[in-house]
Structure 1
């Protein structure tokens, strides 16, 4: 296993996933839509969201490319299409962050809003069940790890090396990146009140634009790799 290659894949996946998930911007909306819940309940929600987000990202990273290959989608085509999708998402975030914030707000609230917090006299099992339900939908899917995150994860998974001997380091790097992002989500969401007080919406929007530019670079790199895969043999 090539350690340098593993670190490189870790950094590429980390920059792509952290940019599309944007835990800081998500924490501002999380604090708004869960304002009726107690601090302990929001901490528990953040932990569950972190676990669910890790499962979603790992599933897309590991299984997304094989599933598409099963349907006859070549690796080069997947990289080109995925790169374009990532670049399009990044460009939208870079130029219209307000539109993305409004969409995230709607996703987190759901069609009818989050259910009211459980009553204090309710049984602990019912409280845990209610928190678990809203933690997955809508707070994890589609709010935290929605279609954009899944598309980025599948695209990153498509960047796997052709040699089987190099894939262990690749999957180790991208999996660690997904776990780091999920941990960041749990940590930042759990401290959402402090994040709101410390950063505020304006600084969060600036950070979001920086993340978007980084995501644009990642998408461009994946697109270039896909073009090289498809058209490289014709240039020889």
Structure 2
């Protein structure tokens, strides 16, 4: 029982963390919070981490019923969410470089940054459609047997907490990563992260389109 629970937690955590890729998100987060103090960025990272945990918990426990309630298919979730991620990545990839002074003037308002903690910093940049769809899929076959339901619920909570912890540690240290890389290295890392974000969005869309077309192709 315990061994199976630990296995489920590790499987879910590694699957979600590879999709979320908090290290790549860290440079995006740093770009969106340029000009904030260390304390303000740390507070924002904590809020994003808490939001991410809440999003995953909702996906784990209520994702499937919500999709059914609004008549949204998993394919539509992937296509729409992937489009949102791809557009965000494209905008960041083509954004002009700004000087430190310009960036400070642009983003120095901590309240304005906090207002973006849920959208777009949590959704879709951190816990996007890929991670939400994965969380829903992990619990898609949850049974109503009490012992199995409890074990699944404990695993879901543990996975969400571990992911939130990883997100917080990575985002709160984004400025330190930047110092290690230097100005030019950080610019390159941000561009690479933006490109990868664009590719992730396109891949999520392609997955959704493929799942949508598969029954049509097999019917012919």
TM-score, normalised with respect to structure 1: 0.60
Shift of 1:25: 0.7
Report the Cα distance in structure 2 between the residues aligned to 1:28 and 1:191, rounded to whole angstroms: 10
Report whether the alignment pairs 1:186 with 2:168: yes
RMSD: 3.7
- Tell me if structure 2 keeps the 8 A contact 1:53–1:144: yes
- Tell me if structure 2 keeps the 8 A contact 1:3–1:169: no
Aligned to 1:175: 157
Report the Cα distance in structure 1 between the residues aligned to 2:149 and 2:31, rounded to whole angstroms: 41
- Tell me if structure 2 keeps the 8 A contact 1:5–1:169: no
Shift in CA distance, 195/104, structure 1 to aligned 2, threshold 3 Å: farther
Q: 1:169 aligns to what SS in structure 2? A: helix
Aligned to 2:5: 6
Report the Cα distance in structure 2 between the residues aligned to 1:34 and 1:159, rounded to whole angstroms: 39
Shift of 1:156: 1.3
Aligned to 1:142: 124
Shift in CA distance, 4/104, structure 1 to aligned 2, threshold 3 Å: farther
Shift of 1:17: 1.1
Aligned to 2:99: none
Report the Cα distance in structure 1 between the residues aligned to 2:32 and 2:155, rounded to whole angstroms: 34
Report the Cα distance in structure 2 between the residues aligned to 1:68 and 1:156, rounded to whole angstroms: 15
TM-score, normalised with respect to structure 2: 0.64
Report the Cα distance in structure 1 between the residues aligned to 2:2 and 2:118, rounded to whole angstroms: 35
Aligned to 1:33: 32
Report the Cα distance in structure 1 between the residues aligned to 2:56 and 2:113, rounded to whole angstroms: 21
Report the Cα distance in structure 2 between the residues aligned to 1:146 and 1:45, rounded to whole angstroms: 18
Aligned to 2:146: 164
Listed as ranges, the gaps of 5+ residues in structure 2 are 94-102, 201-206, 208-220
Equivalent pairs, count: 174
Shift of 1:152: 1.3
Deviation digits for residues 69-99 of structure 1, max 9, x if unmatched?
66899xxxx9xx68xx6xxx8xxxxxxxxx7
Aligned to 2:203: none
- Tell me if structure 1 keeps the 8 A contact 2:9–2:156: yes
Report the Cα distance in structure 2 between the residues aligned to 1:49 and 1:189, rounded to whole angstroms: 9
Aligned to 1:61: 60
Shift of 1:63: 0.5
Q: 1:196 aligns with which of 178, 187, 190?
A: 178
- Tell me if structure 2 keeps the 8 A contact 1:9–1:173: yes
- Tell me if structure 1 keeps the 8 A contact 2:60–2:136: yes
